[in-house]
Amino acid sequence: MRIAVISMHTSPTASLGQNANGGLNVYVREVCNAFSDRGVATDVFTRLQSPDDPAEEALAPLSRVIYLPAGRDLDKYSLLNEVPAFASKVAAFTTEHDIQYDLLFSHYWLSGEIACLLRPQLAAGWAHVAHTLGLVKNRRLAAGARPEPAMRIRVEAEIAQQADLLITSTLDEAGELVSSYGAAADRVFVVPPGVDLATFRPLDRAEARRKIGYANGPLLLYVGRLERLKGVEIAIRALAMLADRAHPGLRLFVLGEDSRDGDESEKERLKGIASELGVRDRVDFLGSVAHHELPYFYSAADVCVMPSYTESFGLVGLEAQACGCPVVASGVPGLRSVVRDEVSGYLIDGDDPSSYADRIGRLLTNPELAQQMGRRASMLAQRFSWTRTADRLLSLFDDAIDGSQTRVQVGITHE
């Protein structure tokens, strides 16, 4: 099997936690690695992010990333105008190198629109992963957050009608595609992402803290891009409430950079909020951290905080739990599928910082409870692996390819 993976707006090789880089990048990279282990070849088409990007780069023995010029430094909404040109460049590449693909595998709505244009020219079958849905995001916006535009909703609806396979991470997301976008239920399948269990595992806390340069005191951790929908402001406000109580040495490490979806810097806004609350000296903005270094931070932290307004799937929560770190997160569908309330952490309905402060405080004042939840979290994470994800995807792909080939043969017969 040979698969063309479309990931236009962000690359699986990009640094995580900055710009638009996050769970989608991890998903594409890990799935392609797992596919390669199973003898399945993938070409990942993405756009040049910097002048230093090569024309091609190996991702795994049977996987490569192909960088094509398309709107460098543009935000994701402006990138829609680059879709036709990008699709043409993908088609030209395959023609020049005489490559045939069995399946298109697109990620995010921009890449889905590209797949709409390329099919059936490039491959008879097409599978799509939305990663996030505009309608869902718009239902629960943070104050001052930019709503997803109508053009995105229209593109997502088109993809929902046209793709042979719609892959979702949760049952809730599958239901949204059917009820809100009109997708046919028999084309929607739930395949949970995984976690690299060899990398993300519990490490000795003292050694982990030495590695990240943090000695003593309670530590909270946030990992992800800095944008309003991630709710980092809630974590800072919860920290301020706890700092006034019995946790004088409490600190919050923020790992990630601005998403650059707009003109405003979310990092600077968050710094201002921390200053207003009198806890600026307790919040460390550490920027983007290499993915392989994250286990040290998860293992060093007492609590991982995820106050997101929406999440399609909580990969950060899963990584934290794999490292034995309890998670306090919002009770949105993508996080409910990962975190077990009062088992591996706490789920909070709503965005009241005092609710987060209460649950975090319970863990900080009861180390035995925190350790129990950490052990359960690590056990829970064992259910999620990229090998399981890849096997399920390939089974679905086989069926989709067989079905597509049958339709093509029928069409030829009638002609």
| 361 found inside a domain | yes
Q: Same domain for 224 and 178?
A: no
Q: Same domain for 360 and 316?
A: yes
- First CA to last CA across the chain, in angstroms? 28
Q: Same domain for 126 and 209?
A: no
Q: Same domain for 212 and 175?
A: no
| 405 found inside a domain | yes
| 200 found inside a domain | no
Contact 45, 68 (CB under 8 A): yes
Q: Same domain for 78 and 221?
A: no
| 181 found inside a domain | yes
Highest-confidence segment of 16-20, 116-120, 153-157, 258-262:
153-157
Q: Same domain for 80 and 146?
A: yes
Contact 21, 59 (CB under 8 A): no
Domain span holding position 219 = 205-381
Judge whether residue 270 has pLDDT over 90.
yes
Where residue 396 sits, what CATH number does that domain have? 3.40.50.2000
- Give dist(CA 170, CA 386) in Å, integer: 16
Give the pLDDT of residue 405: 58
Q: Same domain for 266 and 144?
A: no
Give the pLDDT of residue 21: 52
| 199 found inside a domain | no
| 132 found inside a domain | yes
Judge whether residue 94 has pLDDT over 90.
yes
Q: Same domain for 116 and 232?
A: no
Judge whether residue 243 has pLDDT over 90.
no
| 171 found inside a domain | yes
Number of domains in the chain: 2
Total Cβ atoms within 10 A of residue 68: 20
Summarised one tens digit per residue, pLDDT across range 224-239 is 989 999 999 999 999 9
Q: Same domain for 106 and 60?
A: yes
Summarised one tens digit per residue, pLDDT across range 399-410 is 888 766 555 444
More confident residue, 77 or 272: 272
Question: Stretch 18-47: mean pLDDT, rounded?
Answer: 87
Total Cβ atoms within 10 A of residue 60: 16
Question: Stretch 92-104: mean pLDDT, rounded?
Answer: 94
Judge whether residue 27 has pLDDT over 80.
yes
* Confidence band, pLDDT 50/70/90 cuts, at residue 414: very low
Contact 131, 312 (CB under 8 A): yes
Q: Same domain for 244 and 143?
A: no
Whole-model pTM? 0.89
- Give dist(CA 376, CA 324) in Å, integer: 8
Q: What is the token pair recorded at 10?
A: 């962000």
Give the pLDDT of residue 141: 87
Give the pLDDT of residue 121: 86
Contact 386, 196 (CB under 8 A): yes
Question: Stretch 82-95: mean pLDDT, rounded?
Answer: 94
Residues whose CB is less than 8 angstroms from the CB of residue 303 and which lie 6 or more positions away in sequence, other chains included: 220, 221, 325, 326, 327, 328, 345, 360, 363, 364, 370
| 126 found inside a domain | yes
Q: Same domain for 150 and 181?
A: yes
Give the pLDDT of residue 313: 86
Q: Phi then psi for 329, rounded to 5 degrees? A: -140, 165
Q: Same domain for 128 and 224?
A: no
